[in-house]
Amino acid sequence: MNAANAPLPGWVTFFLMPLLNLGTALLISGFVIWMIGQNPFEALSVLLNGALGSGMGIGFTLFYATNFIFTGLSVAMAYHAGLFNIGSEGQAYVGGLGCALVALALDQYVPWYVTMPFAILGAAIFGAAWAFIPAWLQAKRGSHIVITTIMFNFIGAALMVYLLVHVLKPAGAMSPETRGFAAGGQLPNLDWLMAMFGSRLGPAPLNVSFIIGLVMCFAVWFLIWRTKFGYSVRALGMSKTAATYAGIPYARTVIITMLMSGGLAGMMALNVVMGSADRLQVEFVGGAGFVGIAVSLMGRNHPLGILMAAILFGILYQGGAQLSFMMPQITRDMIVMIQGLVILFAGALEFLYRPALVRIFSRRQSLAEA
Amino acid sequence: MGLILPFEERENNILGYQQLPKYGRNGVLDRQAILDDAREKIEKYDIRPPNPTLKTANFSGGNQQKIVVAREIERDPDILLVGQPTRGVDIGAIEFIHRRIIDMRDSGKAVLLVSVELDEIRALADRILVMFAGENVGEAKPDADEQQLGLMMAGIAS
Amino acid sequence: MHTVDIIVGMLGSTIRLSIPLIFTALAGLFSERSGIFDIGLEGKMLASAFASAVVAYYTGSPWLGLLGGIGVSIIFSLVHGYASITARGNQIVSGVALNFVAAGLTVVLGNAWFRQGGRTPQLANSARFTEIEFPGADAAREMGFFGKFYAEVISGQNILVYLAFITVPIVWWVVYKTRFGLRLRAVGENPGAVDTAGISVIWLRYRAIIIAGFLCGFSGTYLAIAQSASFINNMSAGKGYIALAALIFAKWKPIPVMFACLLFGFLDAFSNFMQGKSMPLVGEVPVQFFQALPYILTCVLLAGFIGTARPPKAGGIPYTKER
């Protein structure tokens, strides 16, 4: 057996390898920080402290993590069917429209818990709708889904800007955004969650969406590993020919999976649009869809892994914001770069250390056997 | 190939039959039933190692073949269409698979065996149809002269 | 304004807006034809724009700036190559990652070196690629449509514009008329066959990737030190993706790539021109529609409604030598 597919203990694949990859990305980031004349260790401590050092920091971290949970699940869902959905960004963006329309329609008449189920549906349906055309093109016309979903990110962005500037913007307003939602369109913060740990959330926008995200983690896990549909999806993802043999309908499975993937991405909008900004704004997704790709890969497409990877990226986001505040030399762009490096090493170069680890562990195994 | 190598043995054990109610109702998989079913076939067909949660890729070629044969024969179909059922399979397993195919015949099922192994065909078949260049060139008895069969296979005799 | 002025002006800006697309799409052509998806075109463009601006600022030479742009672009290419060829990682993820790295790193370094919020200092004209005036252009300007066309479209462009149009036939020649081109096309369709013929798939793909980096260096340089006079945050602004769309729209063929880029460049120029104006019959068309049009056209093409676009068969799949 060669090094490429020699088995490794589970904890090495799921914990040690991602950790080593992350470490490499941080090492290089540290080098860049040192290059521009700053102290990387100080930066790291500011970052961690900003993200985890206070109730407010944790609140922000989990708020960002919520975005990545949804987009990560979205990417993973499609991935299990062998589809690479890099359109989560656009699907989340358009999902925001569905969410906002519900909120705009209901916010003045009903309390938030009545609005929320409809908003979830609205966001999911709009997100799914935006995934439908690429899914249909892949299933029926054989168009490469990677390419069509990229195209749809841009088409979606143009559409949303048009709607916000020409249709949804209240008359007389300057910035391209909808009016602010009344209380019925605002999701409550999770102050009580922080209070349980004897801390305070402060102004952090951590809201009910986080709990919905956790529920969706469980739902996706159950769907993929415990249902017949999930079985079909995984079979299709691993071997198209075997799936055909097993009577799994290709087009239908692809389209349904992509609708679910788009729906999950769309639900991300809930967290930002109704949970924090309380209005629909231009570019509110801010790259979370792309981070979802990394989150999904790093989490090995498993909801538990996705949850952990999402929190990690949440730490990077929040810690990075704090970093740019405390050490002005390190701007927010540094976080964009670190993010890129983490995606590179944890995603594209995920097996960088595999051959070395295989050597170490197979030697150890043969020693143990001898 | 009727197998998905990254799947666990028990998952391949229901491939193609995943929608049957005995493997779960309302779209949810009945994991206990699937596991029991896999154990049963592993024992009956002597699939090694006898581990239904092992990844299929980690079974030997012969045992992978046995997983497929077990799944399809235990379905008790009325017609069995098998192509090269023993390719890459070890001697002991070949014998076992052959016996199962004969059992199927004995219980009155129609078996259509396609193979390039002349010995296998002569051992199993009741009637042999010889193909050449995409056409049926003739029929022979399993005890027919090997040279005669060979000529038919070359398209010379009929 | 006269109609002639409008048409000539539009053609001129179409050309200017197409140039970065042409270089980038041709870069993508080499990469994708060899079987390596390149979402990272955008990042390479941005990184090379930054590098060329910085080098041109310190040396005062646009040519050294170009060299710097190409060098950095090739480095990005090699990282992408290492991830997708040697480490057999996911090519899409690697491309996405490099786009993030480029977007972040350029501003971080720019800010640290020049303290202008990520911008690089304004370049003197001597450190830029400036317009080249052809003989007789001034006189021709007054001589009707063709004269004006000569003066403002053919003449008066910078050297990189002419280079772009020279590059197109060269790329065509390399892809279709050389042994390397034949192998390049083969390796994107069936790397196994190329390997069997005793040609190194890995080295072939690395060469394709390096050429992609080389060409992307021109497009970034064009943005920073020909079209403008400094690097600005995120100045590629999605042009890498438009170029990718053009590449697909042109079905991965060099000459059609040029026309697709000109078409998309024209759409860009047209939408700039139409901003705030209304068209007969339809009224004011939102600028966003023109921005989305290249992508919509590409999707329609991919759907097989206007011909078929089939990507190289081995695209996106890391090559593993059989043992």
Q: Following DSSP, what letter does each residue of A33-73 receive, concatenated?
A: HHHTT--HHHHHHHHHHHHHSSHHHHHHHHHHHHHHHHHHH
Q: State the pLDDT at residue A1.
A: 37
Contact assignment for A231 to B29 by CB distance below 8 Å: yes
Q: Where are the alpha helices (DSSP H) in chain A?
A: 10-11, 17-35, 40-52, 55-80, 88-106, 112-136, 145-162, 191-196, 209-226, 228-238, 240-245, 250-269, 288-298, 303-326, 332-342, 354-369
Residue A107 CA to residue A181 CA, distance in Å, equals 6
Which residue from B116, B117, B148, B153 is spatially nearest to B132, judged by alpha carbons?
Answer: B153
* Distance from C-alpha of A213 to C-alpha of A223, rounded to nearest angstrom: 15
Q: Give the count of beta carbons closer than 10 Å to the beta carbon of residue B139.
A: 12
State the burial class of residue B126 (Cβ atoms within 10 Å of its Cβ: 0-12, 13-18, 19+): exposed
Cα separation, B27 vs A222, in Å, equals 11
Among chain C residues, the shortest Cα distance to A156 is held by C292
* Nearest Cα residue in chain C from A338: C101
**Residues constituting chain B:** 158
Tokens of B29: 């998989």
Q: Residue C8 CA to chain centroid, in angstroms?
A: 23
With an 8 Å Cβ cutoff, is B27 touching chain A? Answer: yes
Please, do chains A and B touch (3+ CB pairs < 8 Å)? yes
Sequence-separated (6 or more) residues with CB below 8 Å from residue A279: A100, A177, A178, A179, A180, A181, A273
Please give the pLDDT value at position C72: 96
Distance from the Cα of A300 to chain B's closest Cα (Å) equals: 14
In chain B, the residue whose alpha carbon lies closest to the alpha carbon of A232 is B18
Q: Is A292 domain-assigned? A: no
- Kindly state the DSSP code that residue B127 receives in the 8-state scheme: S
User: In chain B, count of helices (H) and strands (E)?
Assistant: 6, 4
CA B45, chain centre distance (Å): 12
Domain span holding position C110: 11-302
- CB proximity C237 to A under 8 Å: no
Q: In this complex, does chain B touch chain C, defined as having at least 3 beta-carbon pairs under 8 Å apart?
A: no
CA–CA min distance A196, chain C (Å): 37
Residue at A23 is within a domain = no
The phi and psi torsions of C247 (rounded to 5 degrees) equal -60, -45
Mutation choice for B interface testing from A223, A231, A234 by most B CBs within 10 A:
A231
- CB pair distance less than 8 Å for A344 and C98: yes
How far is the C-alpha of B128 from the C-alpha of B124, rounded, in Å?
10
Q: In Å, how far is A195's CA from the nearest CA of chain C?
A: 36
> Is the CB of residue C69 less than 8 Å from the CB of residue A330?
no
Query: Containing H/E element for B148?
Result: helix B146-153
- State the best of A222, A228, A236 to mutate against chain B, taking most chain B CBs within 10 Å: A228
Burial state string for C250-280 with b = 16 or more CB within 10 A and e = fewer than 16 = bebbbebbbbbbbbbbbbbbbbeebeeeeee
Q: Does C114 touch chain A (CB under 8 A)?
A: no
CA A145 to chain centre: 19
- CATH of residue C166: 1.10.3470
Q: Measured between alpha carbons, how far is B117 from B128 in angstroms, rounded to an integer?
A: 12
Which residue in B12, B26, B28 has the most chain A C-beta atoms within 10 A of its own C-beta, making it the best mutation to test that interface? Answer: B28
Q: Which chains touch B (3 or more CB pairs under 8 A)?
A: A
- Most A CBs within 10 A among B1, B3, B4, B58, hence the mutation to make, goes to B4
pLDDT at C119: 86
Smallest CA-to-CA distance from C292 within A145, B71, A134, A153 is with A153
CB-nearest to B15 from A7, A226, A246 is: A246
Instruction: Determine how β-strand B128-132 pairs with β-strand B135-140.
Output: antiparallel
The residue among C191, C307, C305, C205 whose CA lies nearest residue C253 is C307
Angle at B101 between CA B98 and CA B103, to 5 degrees: 110
User: Is the Cα dihedral C32, C37, C42, C47 positive or negative?
Assistant: negative
Residue C320 forms contact with A (CB below 8 Å): yes
Cβ–Cβ under 8 Å, residues A355 and C105: no
Confidence of residue A2 (pLDDT cuts 50, 70, 90): very low
One-letter amino acid of B116: V
CA C238 – CA C292 distance, rounded (Å): 12
d(CA A135, CA A185): 31
Cα A235 from Cα A243, distance rounded (Å): 6
Are the Cβ atoms of C292 and A154 closer than 8 angstroms?
Answer: yes
Q: Do chains C and A touch (3 or more CB pairs under 8 A)?
A: yes
CA distance A353 to chain C (A): 10
**What percent of chain A clears pLDDT 70, i.e. is strictly above it?**
96
Contact C36, C202 (CB under 8 A): no
- Count of beta carbons in the 10 Å neighbourhood of residue B121: 18
Question: For chain A, what is the domain count?
Answer: 1
Cis peptide before B77 (omega within 30 of 0): no
Q: Identify any residues that bridge with B81 across adjacent strands, giving them in sequence order.
A: B112
B132 touches chain A (CB under 8 A): no
Is the pLDDT at A3 greater than 60, yes or no? Answer: no
CB atoms inside a 10 Å sphere around CB A235: 27
Q: What is the pLDDT of residues A242-269, one digit of tens each?
A: 888 888 999 999 999 999 999 999 999 9
Coil, strand, or helix at residue A3? Answer: coil
Name residues 51-80 of chain A within 8 A of C (Cβ).
none
B5 touches chain A (CB under 8 A): yes
User: What are phi and psi for residue B137, nearest 5 degrees?
Assistant: -100, -10
Low-confidence ranges of chain B (pLDDT < 50): none
Is A228's CB within 8 Å of B2's CB?
A: no
DSSP, res B79: E
Tell me which residue in A227, A241, A245 faces B16 most closely, judged by beta carbons: A245
Greatest alpha-carbon span in chain B: 58
Q: Determine contact, residues B9/B42, Cβ cutoff 8 Å.
A: yes
- Shortest distance between the Cα of B1 and any Cα of chain A, in A, equals 6
- Chain B positions in Cβ-Cβ contact with residue A227 (cut-off 8 Å): 27-29
Hey, are the CB atoms on A154 and C238 less than 8 Å from each other? yes
What is the reported pLDDT for C88?
A: 87
Q: Do C93 and A293 touch (CB under 8 A)?
A: yes
Contact C93 A347 (CB under 8 A): yes
Asked if the Cβ–Cβ distance from C107 to A161 is below 8 Å, we say no
* A146: nearest Cα among C33, C290, C299: C299
Domain spanning B9-126: which superfamily?
P-loop containing nucleotide triphosphate hydrolases (3.40.50.300)
Residues of A in contact with C108 (CB under 8 A): 32, 36, 330-331, 333-334, 337
Extract the residue ranges of chain C whose pLDDT is less than 50: none
Instruction: Select from C104, C288, C295 the Cβ nearest to the Cβ of A336.
Output: C104
Those chains having 3 or more beta-carbon pairs within 8 angstroms of chain A are: B, C
Say if residues C233 and C119 touch (Cβ distance below 8 Å): yes
Which residues of chain A make contact with B5, given a CB cutoff of 8 A? 238-239
Q: Do A235 and B31 touch (CB under 8 A)?
A: no
Chain A: residue nearest B15 by CA? A246
* Separation of alpha carbons C137 and C155, rounded Å: 7
- How far does the CA of residue C250 sit from the closest CA of chain A (Å)? 14
Residue C103 lies in a domain: yes
Which 3 state secondary structure label does DSSP give A200?
coil
How many angstroms separate the CA of residue B155 from the nearest CA in chain A? 33
User: Considering CB atoms only, which of C108, C118, C295 is closest to A154?
Assistant: C295
Give chain C's domain count. Answer: 1
Inter-residue contact C137 to C156 (CB < 8 Å): yes
Token pair in block for residue A363: 């030697």
Range of the domain at A122: 76-287
Residue in chain B closest to A238 (alpha carbons) equals B4
A228 interfaces chain B, CB cutoff of 8 Å:
yes
Q: Which residues contact A325 (CB under 8 A, 6 or more apart)?
A: A50
Give per-residue burial for A71-89: e unless 16+ CB within 10 Å, then b. Answer: bbbbbbbbbbbbbbbbbbb
The residue with tokens 């040519």 is: C63
Best of A239, A241, A252 to disrupt the B interface (most B CBs within 10 Å) is A239
In this prediction, residue A184 has a pLDDT band, given cuts at 50, 70 and 90, of: confident
**Distance separating alpha carbons of residues B122 and B105, to the nearest angstrom:** 15
Please give, one letter per residue, the 3-state secondary structure of chain C.
Answer: CCHHHHHHHHHHHHHHHHHHHHHHHHHHHHHHHCCCCCCCHHHHHHHHHHHHHHHHHHHCCHHHHHHHHHHHHHHHHHHHHHHHHHCCCCHHHHHHHHHHHHHHHHHHHHHHHHCCCCCCCCCCHHHCCCEECCCCHHHHCCCHHHHHHHHHHHCCEEHHHHHHHHHHHHHHHHHHHCHHHHHHHHHHHCHHHHHHCCCCHHHHHHHHHHHHHHHHHHHHHHHHHHHCCCCCCCCCCCHHHHHHHHHHHCCCCHHHHHHHHHHHHHHHHHHHHHCCCCECCCECCCHHHHHHHHHHHHHHHHCCCCCCCCCCCCCCCCCCCCC
Please state, in angstroms and rounded to a whole number, the distance separating the CA atoms of residues C13 and C303: 31
Find the largest Cα–Cα distance for chain A: 80
- A340 to chain C, any CB pair closer than 8 A? The answer is yes
Which residue of chain C has the CA closest to A297? C93
Please name the residues in contact with A346: beta carbons below 8 A apart, sequence gap of 6 or more: A18, A21, A22, A25, A294, A297, A298, A309
Q: Do B31 and A226 touch (CB under 8 A)?
A: yes
